[in-house]
Amino acid sequence: MKPRLSVVTLAVDDLDRALAFYRDGLGLPTAGVVGTQYAIGACVFFEMEGGVKLALWPRASLRADTGVDPGDGGTSGVMLAHNVGSAEAVREVMMRAVAAGAREVKPPQPTFWGGFGACFRDPDGHLWEVVHNPKWPVVD
C-alpha cells in the first residue's frame, strides 16, 4: 500500500449548515451539495491543497451506509490541523472561523514547541487546530 490520504470525511448534523460554515464562513471552494440522486448520497466535497478532499456527509447517511454510529460530535481522538504561514494568519483564520459559527477552544497563543496556534470546534463539534510551524514554511 502506498502511503496516501485522499479524503477526510466529517459526519455532520446539518449538511446545509456545515456547507455554509466551510464555504461561506471559511471560504473553502466547492461545487456544493452533490449526490442527491441517491437516498443517502447527498454530500459536499472541498478540494484541499495537495489533492486531498474534505467531505461533509450527514451522520444519518454515514450510519445507514456503514452500520457505524458516528456519535454526536467531538473528536473521537482526532484533530484536524491547518498550517499557515504566520502567527497573524492563525489569528485571521480563527477570527473568520468564530465569525462563521465555530467555538474557540484555545485562543491564539505561542506553543510549547516554538510555534503559534489556536483551536476551534466547527458547528458539528469537530476539533481543528490552526497553527504556524516555523519549521514548515507555508505560502499563504
Are residues 122 and 91 part of one domain? yes
Q: Are 124 and 22 in contact (CB under 8 A)?
A: no
2 falls within a domain: no
41 falls within a domain: yes
139 falls within a domain: no
Are residues 125 and 97 part of one domain? yes
Parent domain of 23: 7-66
75 falls within a domain: no
DSSP E strands in the chain: the ranges are 7-12, 30-34, 43-47, 53-58, 80-83, 103-110, 116-121, 127-132
The pTM score is 0.85
Are residues 85 and 114 part of one domain? yes
> Which of 87, 74, 77 lies closest to 126 in space, CA to CA?
74
CATH assignment at residue 85: 3.10.180.10
Are residues 96 and 53 part of one domain? no
Three-state DSSP class for residue 53 = strand
Q: What local confidence, expressed as pLDDT, does residue 55 receive?
A: 95
Are residues 93 and 45 part of one domain? no
Q: Are 57 and 64 in contact (CB under 8 A)?
A: no
When divided into structural domains, the chain yields a total of: 2
140 falls within a domain: no
Are residues 34 and 11 part of one domain? yes
Are residues 56 and 32 part of one domain? yes
Q: What local confidence, expressed as pLDDT, does residue 140 receive?
A: 58
Q: Are 130 and 113 in contact (CB under 8 A)?
A: no
Three-state DSSP class for residue 7 = strand
Sequence-distant (≥ 6) Cβ neighbours of residue 132 within 8 angstroms = 83, 84, 85, 86, 87, 89, 90, 115, 116, 117, 138
C-alpha cell at 20: 455554509
Are residues 91 and 60 part of one domain? no
Which segments of the chain have a pLDDT < 50? none
73 falls within a domain: no
119 falls within a domain: yes
